[in-house]
């Protein structure tokens, strides 16, 4: 964003990115921060267990998982960082990721940002470099240069960096740290609830845990006893239409708009209905299966997406939607999807209907589904709150880091 220089705001002055307070310095990143690229010794020196005389070698993936811990000899650690240092992912995608929190030696895919502490505090530097607007700017440069995945350091260095007085920087950082703490707290609550939910789901769907008042034995039922193949063929539309697809790993449906029906070879398509079970026969082995919701009603699919109606006197869809997300179902669908080494392995629909599952009475199904649905809704509400907090912080960052909102130091 570029401030309009022909306007006037008392107490503010225009810069290339925004109006900033008169008492702020209009610096560039190069004037405020130095960058130090990483290094690493040959892979032959790597160890994969903590060892005396060795230091952890940090790669970008280590900020996402501890599964691939790597260590190098201490004397070969040319570039090191601590937990509070600001680290930048040099390559993408996604481009220009900002990290903190690990101590060790950092490799060539990372850059350490070293702020001039006479001008800028460590925390303020971290939040300024984390601005979504800065990442978007650098990603735009990468796209214009033919998909280059590295940071254009000269463009980063010349990017404007308005700086408030140090005491105001401290106060701004305190506010944003408090936002991050709140986000982290909510994240941990969600993680704990998801772990608890996963355990309860497993127990309820296998009968290891029973709801109060239920003692009847569960019966093994073949899918063909409660799934009725049901299709609604329609001629391929002449105009644009909505095509339904399935996400793998039980993650539901997706919609693709077909603007030009002439690009579709099939003359007959199939309309889907709410409450049907649907699967993708070429990716069923990967968990491409779902129960259709109201939002899916009326969308069109090809013959590769068979649909089934439930005999609700035996099994209800609200209960079975939890069954189809289990690893066991995905494993079974893999067994009945023969094929080569490629990803396209076609499920045998006859074998699918011959699968069987131990199921409780319809009444118990209804109550189990109600318990799991309540847990689903609770986690969904928490995730909505989390997203709102993140958006609130994003808006606050923009206002605080440009001085649109001032804080008393």
> Which tokens is 147 given?
């998909």
94-45-114 Cα angle (round to 5): 45
Cis peptide before 9 (omega within 30 of 0): no
219-359 adopts what CATH topology?
Answer: Adenine-n6-DNA-methyltransferase TaqI; Chain A, domain 2 (3.90.220)
Are residues 268 and 234 in contact, defined by beta-carbon separation less than 8 angstroms? Answer: yes
Bridge partners, residue 356, by sequence: 222
Are residues 33 and 122 in contact, defined by beta-carbon separation less than 8 angstroms? Answer: no
Which residue, 321, 289, 326, is CA-closest to 305?
289
Bridge partners, residue 65, by sequence: none
> Which tokens is 162 given?
């308005």
Q: What is the pLDDT of residue 314?
A: 97
Backbone angles phi, psi at 274, to 5 degrees: -55, 140
Q: Tell me the average pLDDT across 375-382.
A: 96
Q: What is the pLDDT of residue 340?
A: 65
Segment 196-205 long-range contacts (CB within 8 Å, at least 24 positions apart): 197/372, 197/375, 197/376, 197/379, 200/371, 200/372, 200/375, 201/322, 201/372, 201/375, 202/326, 204/368, 204/371, 204/372, 205/322, 205/323, 205/326, 205/368
Query: For the whole model, what pTM was predicted?
Result: 0.81
Are residues 1 and 79 in contact, defined by beta-carbon separation less than 8 angstroms? Answer: no
> Which tokens is 312 given?
């609700």
pLDDT band (50, 70, 90) for residue 9: confident
Alpha carbon distance 83, 63 (integer Å): 11
Q: What is the pLDDT of residue 147?
A: 53
pLDDT band (50, 70, 90) for residue 7: low
The whole-angstrom distance between residue 165's C-alpha and the CA centroid of its chain comes to 37
pLDDT band (50, 70, 90) for residue 1: very low
Which residue, 299, 234, 240, is CA-closest to 269?
234
Q: Which string of DSSP letters, residue by residue, matches 178-203? A: HHHHHHHHHHHHHHHHHHHHHHHHHH
Q: Where do the structural domains in the chain lie, given as residue ranges?
A: 12-163, 219-359
Class of domain 12-163: alpha beta
Averaged confidence pLDDT in the chain:
93
- pLDDT per residue as tens digits for the range 142-193: 766 555 578 999 999 999 999 999 999 999 999 999 999 999 999 999 999 9
Task: Indicate left, alpha or beta for 104 from its phi (over 0: left) and psi (-120 to 50: alpha).
Answer: left
Bridge partners, residue 235, by sequence: 268
Q: What is the pLDDT of residue 230?
A: 97
- pLDDT per residue as tens digits for the range 194-228: 999 999 999 999 999 999 999 999 999 999 999 99
């Amino acid at each position: 964003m570029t401030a309009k220089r022909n306007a006037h705001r008392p107490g503010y002055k225009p810069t290339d990115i925004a109006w900033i307070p008169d008492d702020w310095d209009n610096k560039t990143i190069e004037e405020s921060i130095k960058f130090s690229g990483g290094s690493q010794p040959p892979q032959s020196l790597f160890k994969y267990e903590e060892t005396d005389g060795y230091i952890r070698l940090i790669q970008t993936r280590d900020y996402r998982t501890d599964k691939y811990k790597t260590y190098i000899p201490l004397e070969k650690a040319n570039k090191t960082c601590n937990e509070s240092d600001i680290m930048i992912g040099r390559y993408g995608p996604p481009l220009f990721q900002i990290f903190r929190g690990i101590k060790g030696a950092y490799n060539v895919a990372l850059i350490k940002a070293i702020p001039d502490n006479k001008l800028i505090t460590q925390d303020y530097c971290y939040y300024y470099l984390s601005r979504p607007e800065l990442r978007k700017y650098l990603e735009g440069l990468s796209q214009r240069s033919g998909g280059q995945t590295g940071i254009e350091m000269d463009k980063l260095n010349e990017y404007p960096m308005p700086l408030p007085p140090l005491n105001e920087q401290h106060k701004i950082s305190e506010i944003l740290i408090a936002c991050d703490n709140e986000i982290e707290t909510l994240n941990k609550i969600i993680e704990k609830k998801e772990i608890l939910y996963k355990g309860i789901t497993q127990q309820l769907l296998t009968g290891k845990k029973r709801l109060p008042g239920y003692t009847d034995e569960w019966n093994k039922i073949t899918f063909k006893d409660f799934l009725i193949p049901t299709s609604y063929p329609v001629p391929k539309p002449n105009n644009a239409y909505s095509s339904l697809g399935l996400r793998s790993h039980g993650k539901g449906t997706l919609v693709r708009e077909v603007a030009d029906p002439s690009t579709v070879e099939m003359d007959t398509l199939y309309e889907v209905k709410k409450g049907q079970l649907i699967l993708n026969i070429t990716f069923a082995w990967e968990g491409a299966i779902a129960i259709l919701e109201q939002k899916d009603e009326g969308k069109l699919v090809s013959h590769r997406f068979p649909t089934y109606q439930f005999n609700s006197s035996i099994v209800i869809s609200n209960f079975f939607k939890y069954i189809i997300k289990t690893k066991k179902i995905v494993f079974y669908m893999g067994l009945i999807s023969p094929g080569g080494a490629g990803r396209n392995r076609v499920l045998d629909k006859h074998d699918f209907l011959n699968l069987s599952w131990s199921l409780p009475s319809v009444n118990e199904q209804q109550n189990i589904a109600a318990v799991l649905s309540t847990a689903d809704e609770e986690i969904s509400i928490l995730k909505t709150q989390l997203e709102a907090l993140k958006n609130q912080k994003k808006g606050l960052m923009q206002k605080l880091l440009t001085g649109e909102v001032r804080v008393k130091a």
